[in-house]
Structure 1
């Protein structure tokens, strides 16, 4: 059940031994690691296959050891940092008080031995102990230049294309040099798609973290499902520095797999009482030990590069006198698919700002790749084939974006749509996510242009807006015909190439990538923009001057959300005839919570016309407003025989729906613009009553969460998957296993997509090296 008290912070003792902890706890496992020498011996191509298979495909963390021998020890040192950046003032996070204090970097470095020395086996759990963490500071330019020469280009920050470097694998790449365009540009995929954005739009996420014993990073997932990279470039040793004794610096990482993200989120919410998306809880060792999923542990030391899979939760505990780390994130096609389909909708619920501009990355990367592939002859180079594959996947994401922003057959008049030239900086005033093209703005409650209230379409569908609720105006950042024109041009480019590669006739190739108008007709649901059009007509307008709703028989703009009351669980009493409640013509009665609401706050069944308020659907059935409003003919839980209300549970023909996902409840008004309101769902309430009504077996509920989410993902893949002509061949002509032969081998894969045999081969090579090393 959802606990009334949330799990408290409990610090780790300084004498914790990672290897002994792993051996003593069954669900703990050491993170797999390879060395820089392994990459040198086997080549960059094999490493690329291993990384794609192990970190991205199977979603497991990986460690690369040995960079301490490659890094310039004079450059990556506290002395150099003190000399060159010692006077720079930064915000140091006081983890105990949850506030920032201003220190110069030099002053903080000088105080680290004293800060770390106060924490020992006798004092580590004292609440008054200071834990000051210098985090999220800009990486020195000199460090960035040096690391760019040491790190595999595929893994480094803002990488645009393969380039020469001096690190592991640089002498033996394992493949021929990439071809170039007539202008000299390399025809290859970018390692970090953030590089596709104009310079002024890029998110600066190459950061440094300097911590001492007892500082930490709470459990979290990387922003926007991106790939995480964390290299410890320097750490204190068991010695004397400047007359002060120091202790060995290291960091203990607790990490999970990508496929366990649903179980982790549910465990955090239902057992620990926290939301993993808020990044506000550092879990105690006992919680990890009792968790019903595998936890990977690694003690990071200087020279260790940690590679974090997308959507894999992890937390970090710093040890010793000093740890200095450089961390960055990368965006790829895989992370964009995760971000748009899963990470951003979750971030929108808790109002976590989106810094990466994912939809804009899709658009600008398509533009960049299209120019690279324009008039490129057919080539069998792996990078060119990979570039075409990514181009197709990005085009599918762009199609989904365009479909979501498509109006109905009766769009608003063009003179009623404001045009604001795209600069990449428009964010939703409520959820703080970045807005790509269309959005709604309120002309009534702003005092000037900088004070405009802009809301994304997804938030408005959820009932989020300013207090005016309705009469919002449409804004576009791109002329719609230009976006459609780019879609048509990229479609023709893909179709032409597929005809040449696969040998299919042009009609078959076009059917795999239909025109936008055809895809709109095949969608089978209402786009978000069309839902907004309908709701703008249905929802009432509030007069901002007197704060009164311009609608008859309306009580308030914020719902009462009293669905946590269950009349079927009340104590026994004498039977009596309850008088029927009189509902006005402008109001309806929620079948589930029995509260009267105006029609625009109710979802009406297309078969029996039974009405459910959106708060009840959200908590008792895990149905969001968009899930109900996007269906042209919505069928209610009662007609589907899954209603779990107090009355329907007595119906023997019902199979009551059992909510499997816990919602902790958030007061989003603390984060959103002060003018904001929730008109459909009171987000402050949790769904503890409905989750625990059907039993508190956490393990069974986690299994159901995994099954439900994986089923949704499989259905989405089946609906949107387009065959890739580059991978349609089922035989290589020499008797080698094909992709389909490996489907039954890897039962622990997070999904059912085929595994590339080359990835398996590379993984076996590197894992064999690891096992041989351990054996010796």
Structure 2
């Protein structure tokens, strides 16, 4: 889409970090901390709590840094041979032989000109399995910030529902990622694995709590941050009514991006290769439910991360953990998290519940030999993930449906699907005969919820009275 992104062309020509930070009173330098600092874990926790970005540097000097693996020539031999690239000037995406892409990057000027028609950026590429293995098994990167690590609730989703968040980015100077937030209030991590000819990346980030102010400001300028379609200029950031955290990322720098931080990345100089991943914290789930998903519904952005389902499966996990834990100290921590998840799940149930649930069709007990998986259903209008309740028409099939027009044999969940929010706002199918459907037996969800209450009572005897039971005789 040639006009999908609003841009004056942006260039890092002449940029110096010190000059940038000093160019405006609302610009601030991002804190940097060496990976070996004794205060590393404490500092990471403080920055996560405050919603401000942090850079952990020096990883390329770590004794276990895989220099021969994090290398463009290794990628040339072992990486994706036809990566998808984006021309940042017209926003077109296409595949190109990896060797040709590398040659183009090495022969293109590091600074864009007003006359050029093409500048390619390899983004959202698959991360090589060997890189994934090093990240997860070397023990170098702290587990607290790793995907599926100790502070990533995405790991509680069923294997079939998990989303691949680990990606690679490859580009030269003046390629960029537009101003955006990471999906569903997830926390972002970005590690520069390789650079040549002084390649670096400039980051412009906002504080997590400033997200409403940032979004409102850009609405006034006619831009929707959640559509990721605007490239901000330095002047727009300098005159903005919020603080901007500025950093230059070098080889071995791990950038930690807080949930809801609006940020833009502009590459500088020679080739840089970065690997990036997201993780979902408990606080991120809360923010997503109450703040991000309503925005996604408004702008019709695909949810991707299945937040409601994530809350449910995390609650199930922590219920089992509390039931099996003996240590009182450990139990208190687990119960605290379970209680937060339970309160979130209660709000999910409030949106999904109907007193007529027993009479509704639901996928879990369908006679279809291959019923549609719960985790793959989404609203065909706004892109919301369907956790439990939806409206469906088996006659007005979406264009993506595999069912033929002739047969009209439509499995539950394979028809035209609308989430409850879209339906109550007046959206419907062409024939107007949509029927309510549920994914699971509602009683099973209520039983899971009440089981969580009983588990909490192990540590807090008054919890049953405080939280209540939704079934008359909870098992």
Q: Summarize the Cα distance change of 1:7–1:280 in structure 2 as closer, same or farther, 3 Å threshold.
A: closer
How far did 1:125 drift? 4.3
How far did 1:368 drift? 1.6
Which of 350, 356, 377 lines up with 1:426 in the alignment?
Answer: 377
The corresponding residue for 1:532 is none
Q: Summarize the Cα distance change of 1:413–1:365 in structure 2 as closer, same or farther, 3 Å threshold.
A: closer
Q: Summarize the Cα distance change of 1:7–1:129 in structure 2 as closer, same or farther, 3 Å threshold.
A: closer
The corresponding residue for 1:67 is 59
| 1:36–1:65 Cα contact (<8 Å) kept | yes
Which of 153, 165, 169 lines up with 1:193 in the alignment?
Answer: 153
The corresponding residue for 1:213 is 173
Which of 430, 434, 437 lines up with 1:467 in the alignment?
Answer: 430
| 1:12–1:285 Cα contact (<8 Å) kept | no
Q: Secondary structure at the match of 1:497?
A: coil
How far did 1:127 drift? 5.2
Which of 340, 356, 381 lines up with 1:393 in the alignment?
Answer: 340
Once residues 412 and 398 of structure 1 are traced to their aligned partners in structure 2, the CA distance between those partners, rounded to angstroms, is 18
| 1:403–1:516 Cα contact (<8 Å) kept | no
Residue 9 (structure 1) aligned with residue 8 (structure 2): yes
| 1:362–1:397 Cα contact (<8 Å) kept | yes
Gapped regions of structure 2 (runs ≥ 5): 365-370, 398-404
Q: Secondary structure at the match of 1:496?
A: coil
How many residues of Structure 1 are paired with residues of Structure 2 in the alignment? 445
Q: Secondary structure at the match of 2:201?
A: strand
How far did 1:30 drift? 0.3
The corresponding residue for 2:75 is 81
Once residues 434 and 207 of structure 2 are traced to their aligned partners in structure 1, the CA distance between those partners, rounded to angstroms, is 43
Gapped regions of structure 1 (runs ≥ 5): 1-5, 160-189, 238-247, 500-507, 519-776
Once residues 53 and 453 of structure 2 are traced to their aligned partners in structure 1, the CA distance between those partners, rounded to angstroms, is 36
| 1:226–1:332 Cα contact (<8 Å) kept | yes
Once residues 7 and 52 of structure 1 are traced to their aligned partners in structure 2, the CA distance between those partners, rounded to angstroms, is 36
Residue 340 (structure 1) aligned with residue 289 (structure 2): yes
| 1:224–1:344 Cα contact (<8 Å) kept | yes
Residue 510 (structure 1) aligned with residue 464 (structure 2): yes
Q: Summarize the Cα distance change of 1:109–1:8 in structure 2 as closer, same or farther, 3 Å threshold.
A: closer
Once residues 467 and 276 of structure 1 are traced to their aligned partners in structure 2, the CA distance between those partners, rounded to angstroms, is 32
Once residues 430 and 172 of structure 2 are traced to their aligned partners in structure 1, the CA distance between those partners, rounded to angstroms, is 46
RMSD of aligned residue pairs (Cα, Å): 1.9
Q: Secondary structure at the match of 2:252?
A: coil
Once residues 126 and 332 of structure 2 are traced to their aligned partners in structure 1, the CA distance between those partners, rounded to angstroms, is 36
Residue 417 (structure 1) aligned with residue 361 (structure 2): yes
How far did 1:219 drift? 0.4
The corresponding residue for 2:45 is 52
Question: Please, what TM-score do these two structures have when normalized by structure 2?
Answer: 0.89
Once residues 459 and 253 of structure 2 are traced to their aligned partners in structure 1, the CA distance between those partners, rounded to angstroms, is 43
| 1:132–1:211 Cα contact (<8 Å) kept | yes
CA shift digits 1:186-222 (9 cap, x unpaired): xxxx321111122121000100000111100000000
How far did 1:385 drift? 3.3
Q: Summarize the Cα distance change of 1:15–1:261 in structure 2 as closer, same or farther, 3 Å threshold.
A: same
Moved more, 489-498 or 275-284: 489-498
Residue 404 (structure 1) aligned with residue 351 (structure 2): yes
Q: How does 1:251-650 map to 2 (within 5 A)?
A: 251-271=201-221, 273-381=222-330, 384-408=331-355, 411=356, 414=359, 416-420=360-364, 422-446=373-397, 447=405, 448=408, 449=410, 452-468=415-431, 470-499=432-461, 508-516=462-470
Work out which of the two has the higher radius of gyration on C-alpha atoms and give 1 or 2. Answer: 1
Q: Secondary structure at the match of 2:89?
A: coil
Q: Summarize the Cα distance change of 1:413–1:436 in structure 2 as closer, same or farther, 3 Å threshold.
A: closer
How far did 1:101 drift? 2.0
| 2:357–2:442 Cα contact (<8 Å) kept | no
Q: Summarize the Cα distance change of 1:474–1:427 in structure 2 as closer, same or farther, 3 Å threshold.
A: same
| 2:12–2:268 Cα contact (<8 Å) kept | no
| 1:417–1:473 Cα contact (<8 Å) kept | no
Once residues 467 and 215 of structure 2 are traced to their aligned partners in structure 1, the CA distance between those partners, rounded to angstroms, is 36
How far did 1:329 drift? 0.2
Once residues 240 and 284 of structure 2 are traced to their aligned partners in structure 1, the CA distance between those partners, rounded to angstroms, is 26
Once residues 388 and 321 of structure 1 are traced to their aligned partners in structure 2, the CA distance between those partners, rounded to angstroms, is 50
How far did 1:253 drift? 0.2
CA shift digits 1:530-550 (9 cap, x unpaired): xxxxxxxxxxxxxxxxxxxxx
Once residues 158 and 42 of structure 2 are traced to their aligned partners in structure 1, the CA distance between those partners, rounded to angstroms, is 30
Question: Please, what TM-score do these two structures have when normalized by structure 1?
Answer: 0.55
